[in-house]
Structure 1
């Protein structure tokens, strides 16, 4: 295995950098790792499915405390670098209007994901279960797409409802199931990898300069396309299968131990 020598390292949030269960926290060892990367002159970045407006308070504190440089949000659809927009890929407004109209007509709960927040339409037991699982703050607003650029949509339904819901969704768009009651609906070309590549090109960097840590299905393209992809020990099996390396689980100081084992940072007191 070639030892990675990244110039920038990307971290997914939920169950990679942030334990979103029980006490909900960023492991102290992960903070140590972030500081160690900065000390070595390696940039640090977030790469998440969340929009910036619904980042957990503890993640916002870590961004400030550890000097995280970049946030790749909404599965790569909106990228900010040191608080300034670097790349953005909004969905066509007419497409959004037509889709929400169709979903409302069939009483399918869904939500708009904008830079400004998460806005729900037609809440039900499916949306409640999914949004509660990640403790996602949201506002009920069926007209949000008229005021804000929409970068992604969430549609709330189970796999048992596929026959009823799938014909309503745009052909060719990506469907990524992140909860038994919810999917991310992305543009066909949308991914964390696209957002990362667009941002790095503006900074004069290549994908080969990047390293990334993730745990879920929406991290697949990111881990495959960066120079070195790391799956958490708690990652889904299909992500581990494409990763260059599998580090210990988040609960077992995975980020810190992975970076030390790979020689990216030096071992020290956690």
Structure 2
């Protein structure tokens, strides 16, 4: 009898978004047992699994250690590819300093609560927030661990020895009602910056040509994997470039309309373990592997 695990693999790589896809921190829920089991089964079948997220490498390492993922992960909106085991940075893409100075000056002149991300000499992300606000728990969740409050971001990028940032995140509030913040920032800084919405209230900026899809393509090149043989699952607009970069894109049932339009398959929402369902239906079952 033929071993079902020897059947042809439908994919050579599985790429998973984090928040809203396998991690539901907005409802204070960890990665579910069903998703953990599905990921373990995919890896046991010889198919590498990775993460592609806007979160930092340190954040990812803290939240996926129990998943035994050894494949490099795409983090910080594609600006950083790193080793989830050692924390070593394998690739980074900074915002050019002249453009970063323009962006920081604009942020300093506007009321949005904002965080800016830098890489320090030890390869760790350092996060600065420009001011405190009325939603400290929300800021802590979406930004990560902030090192300090820095009222003037321009000071962080001034001087000849300034370190360029990797990305920034702006939080929309009542002051942005009726404002097309994504459109405004693109009008000001494109094509120099890649501006994308990552949450109904979050707008992020990275260097031109840097997004999660580009990060996945760089990872595939590093691994010697044809991106056309990769499967990706996501839920937010910043996942659209991933779904467009790989051979098969899956939208979560809780995904935005843009993600739905870019996907070839729609999984149940995160509350129903949609990522686990997708992995079973699209990866494990075709290989004859049950759970």
Query: Residue 189 of structure 2 aligns with which residue?
Result: 170
Deviation, structure 1 residue 124: 3.9
Query: Residue 137 of structure 1 aligns with which residue?
Result: 145
Deviation, structure 1 residue 94: 2.4
Match of 2:19 among 7, 14, 17: 14
Larger radius of gyration: 2
- The TM-score normalised by the length of structure 1 is 0.84
Query: Residue 178 of structure 2 aligns with which residue?
Result: 160
Deviation, structure 1 residue 160: 2.5
Deviation, structure 1 residue 121: 1.8
Cα RMSD of the aligned pairs, angstroms, is 2.7
- The question of whether the paired residues in 2 share the 8 Å contact of 1:54 and 1:118 is answered with no
Between the aligned partners of 2:51 and 2:218, the Cα distance in structure 1 is 15
- The question of whether the paired residues in 2 share the 8 Å contact of 1:80 and 1:87 is answered with yes
Query: Residue 235 of structure 1 aligns with which residue?
Result: 255
- Which has the larger displacement, 14-23 or 172-181? 172-181
- The question of whether the paired residues in 1 share the 8 Å contact of 2:213 and 2:242 is answered with yes
Match of 1:187 among 198, 207, 220: 207
Query: Residue 103 of structure 1 aligns with which residue?
Result: 107
Between the aligned partners of 2:48 and 2:82, the Cα distance in structure 1 is 14
Distance change (3 Å), C-alpha of 1:210 and 1:117: farther
Q: 5+ residue gaps in structure 2?
A: 1-7, 120-124
- Which has the larger displacement, 185-194 or 115-124? 115-124
Between the aligned partners of 1:208 and 1:43, the Cα distance in structure 2 is 15
Q: 5+ residue gaps in structure 1?
A: none
- The question of whether the paired residues in 2 share the 8 Å contact of 1:159 and 1:180 is answered with no
